[in-house]
Amino acid sequence: MPWTVDDLDTPAVLIDLDRVEANLGRAQAYADAHGLRLRPHIKTHKLPELARLQVELGAVGITCQKIGEAEVMADAGLDDILLTFNLIGRAKLTRLVALARRVRLGVAIDNEIVARGLSDAMAGVGLELPVLVECDTGAERCGVQSAEEATALARIVAALPGLRFDGLMTYPPKHRTLQVNAWLSEAKAAVEAAGIECRTVSNGGTPDLYSAHQVAVATEHRPGTYIYSDRSLVAGGFGTFEDCALRVLTTVVSRPTDGRAILDAGSKTFSSDTLGLPDYGYFVEYPQLVLEKFSEEHGHVDCSASNARPAVGERVTVIPNHACVVSNLFDTVYGVRGDRVERAFKVAARGLVQ
């Protein structure tokens, strides 16, 4: 007897593998058509199995944010990893050196203190760590603020033992591809005018994945959420609900009033991320239901706009606003095709905060 979705207890995270393969195939075909390398960010799935699939389909390597994620991926055979985070402190740097000895590892930095820490850690190792300088092209998170700052930091990196300046990296603002291209082009030209080779320009993000070619200076792109998509991406014009591969199976446990239903899944399942939407998820079977708020273990559903309303005990499927954070809340997710459960995945890179 096949194992089906009906056999799973709730709440459960379903990963539709047909949709995953379609999403990855489409992105790789786009990247290939534009001569762009893909280096997917594993934050969305946190699964070595899907990271391997991304590489099998043509990705040049992967992106991680934490040393612990990179260690898990290296253990699973991923051998080309970019760490896009300023790494500080003896514990992390010791692990970084160990990792650099066994995989092709690169890092991104945005300041001299981090550069000097990396150099001190790499001293005497006999390897040169490739370093990208992170650029704030408008997202206002990390990153140097100008082409001049990028050049100054590139000079420092190029002069430090144990490091090799490899290029520029950005986490871009949404829907400003031309601005991002102008910023990075100017910075690359400034670095090269200083006599420093700039081999890699790494751009990122799913919202502009299919206009990534407009950032013509970029040599690689680091999309994350494209593998699963989610409601916030659909709301932003990226594909449709049909593309959403991560779905949460829940049970209606209470119908205290005609207008209210309560799910067995709250912020401990979905997180509290809205990503700017007025509510928390899309009900596949009941599009008019509104997932209006969460307690930690309860989802509060406003049924008032829907003629069709689920009964106590009924299972309903929710596409969350933000898929990545759901992956981090589950130890196990289930790979499905249609109603058939193909396999359980241990979320091996979940919860790795360091």
Residues in contact with a copy of itself by CB under 8 A are 9-11, 43, 65-66, 85-86, 88-89, 91-92, 110-111, 113-114, 117, 136, 140-145, 251, 253-257, 260, 262, 264-265, 267-269, 271-274, 295-298, 300, 311-313, 324-325, 328-331, 351, 353-354
Q: Which C-beta is closer to a copy of itself: that of 37 or that of 268?
A: 268
The residue (of 30 and 151) whose beta carbon lies closer to a copy of itself is 151
Q: Least separation, in Å, of the C-beta of 328 and a copy of itself?
A: 6
CB-nearer residue toward a copy of itself: 77 or 259: 259
Q: What is the closest distance, in whole angstroms, from the C-beta atom of residue 258 to a copy of itself in the complex?
A: 10
Question: In the 3-class helix/strand/coil scheme, how is the chain assigned residue by residue?
Answer: CCCEHHHCCCCEEEEEHHHHHHHHHHHHHHHHHCCCEECCECCCCCCHHHHHHHHHCCCCCEEECCHHHHHHHHHCCCCEEEECCCCCCHHHHHHHHHHHCCCEEEEEECCHHHHHHHHHHHCCCCCCEEEEEEECCCCCCCCECCHHHHHHHHHHHHHCCCEEEEEEECCCCCCCHHHHHHHHHHHHHHHHHCCCCCCEEEEECCCCHHHHHHCCCCCEEECCHHHCCCHHHHHCCCCCHHHCCEEEEEEEEEEEECCEEEECCCHHHHCCCCCCCCCCEEECCCCCCEEEEECCCCEEEECCCCCCCCCCCCEEEEEECCHHHHHCCCCEEEEEECCEEEEEEECCCCCCCC
Which is closer to a copy of itself, CB of 57 or CB of 139?
139
Q: With respect to a copy of itself, which residue has the nearer C-beta, 32 or 285?
A: 285
Q: How far is the CB of 152 from a copy of itself (least distance, A)?
A: 14
CB of 97 to a copy of itself, least distance (A): 15
Q: Which is nearer to a copy of itself, 36 or 39 (CB)?
A: 39
The distance of closest approach from Cβ of residue 66 to a copy of itself in the complex, given in angstroms and rounded to an integer, is 7
Could you tell me the smallest distance in angstroms from the CB atom of residue 29 to a copy of itself? Answer: 28
